[in-house]
A = this chain, B = another copy of it.
Amino acid sequence: MAELDIVVDRTSEIPLHQQISDAHRAAIASGQLRPGARVENEIDLAARLGLSRPTVRRAMEDLVHSGLVTRRRGSGTVVAPSQVRRQLRLTSLFDDLEAEGRRPTTSVLEFSIAVGSPETTETLGLPPKAGVLTIRRLRFAGGEPLAILTNELPADIAPDYSALGASGLYASLRDKGITIAGATQRIGARVATHAEAQLLGEKAGAPLLTLDRVAYSDSGRIVEHGSHVYRASLYSFDMSIRQ
């Protein structure tokens, strides 16, 4: 069993359990902990680091939740197979573009505040005829058009146009003290309209991945509705699930 070289810093603002899980994440990412390797058990790790077992345990639960390790009562904790991760990641074209150092860029097609349609105000949980900011952006990766992003937000929390360009939508909201607590989303597919195809440099009838998302803040308020379309030839969604 590998003993990871973990140094816990009790003066840090980072919770102890997160320091432990971060150290394991790094060790798995770097290959120091290989797939199938046993992870040190909770009791020993707690004793070695001078922490309580529940604290170490919480770190392990984080890792299980991320799909990085699996646990079995009586048997122990093992690093999850990496083929599972690598296999799928290898063919992600967008990741390839990013790995080549071609950063994604964005151009704003529309930025307008107007009275929201009945559908929009209902989706956003606003009273009828409330003001709504609509943003349409074209996202590029490696010089190639990749996606058309449409967002609708309540006008009273609308970020500045300049802030949007500088730091992205979610970062702009965070600067205004609004943090996203969660979202519900739906992934689907359809073929491109003529207008979409033209913007994206595809032929009409090309397959598109669609993402519809409604995000809410920790106070339970609906903060944003996004309707995005991605070129299926360049983009896919990767995710790990557990249980």
Binary CB contact string for chain A from 60 to 71 against chain B (1 if under 8 A, 0 otherwise): 000001010011
- Size category of the binding interface on chain A: 35 or more
The interface residues of chain A, by DSSP majority, are classed as: strand
Candidate in A182, A205, A216 with the most chain B CB atoms within 10 angstroms:
A182
The answer to whether A183 and B84 have CB atoms under 8 Å apart is yes
Is A143 interfacial (CB-CB < 8 Å)?
no
CB of A186 closer than 8 Å to a CB of B: yes
Interface presence of A209 (CB below 8 A): yes
Q: Which residues of B contact A186 (CB under 8 A)?
A: 88, 92, 236-239
When distances are taken between beta carbons in the complex, the residues of chain B under 8 Å from A72 are 218-219
Q: List residues 198-230 of chain A with CB under 8 A from any CB of chain B.
A: 205, 207-209, 212, 214, 216-222
Within 8 A of B (CB), among A33-53: 35-36
Q: For residue A238, which residues in chain B have a CB less than 8 angstroms away from its CB? A: 184-186
- Is residue A12 contacting chain B, with contact meaning CB distance below 8 A? no
A169-205 CB contacts (< 8 Å) to partner B: 180-191, 205
Stretch from A75-83, A107-115, A128-136, A150-158 contacting the other chain: A75-83
Docked-complex contact A187 and B214, CB < 8 angstroms: no
Asked if residues B218 and A189 are in contact (CB atoms below 8 Å), the reply is no
Q: A239 — which chain B residues lie within 8 A by C-beta?
A: 184-187
Given A72-B219, A232-B188: A212 and B88 interface contact (C-beta under 8 Å): yes
Which of B182, B184, B209 is in CB contact (< 8 Å) with A88?
B184
A65 to B61, CA, bound (A): 13
Instruction: Determine the residue in chain B with the shortest Cβ distance to A75.
Output: B219
A181→B70 CA distance, assembly (Å) = 7
CB pair A220–B35 under 8 Å, yes or no, is yes
Asked whether any CB of chain B lies closer than 8 Å to the CB of A240, the reply is yes
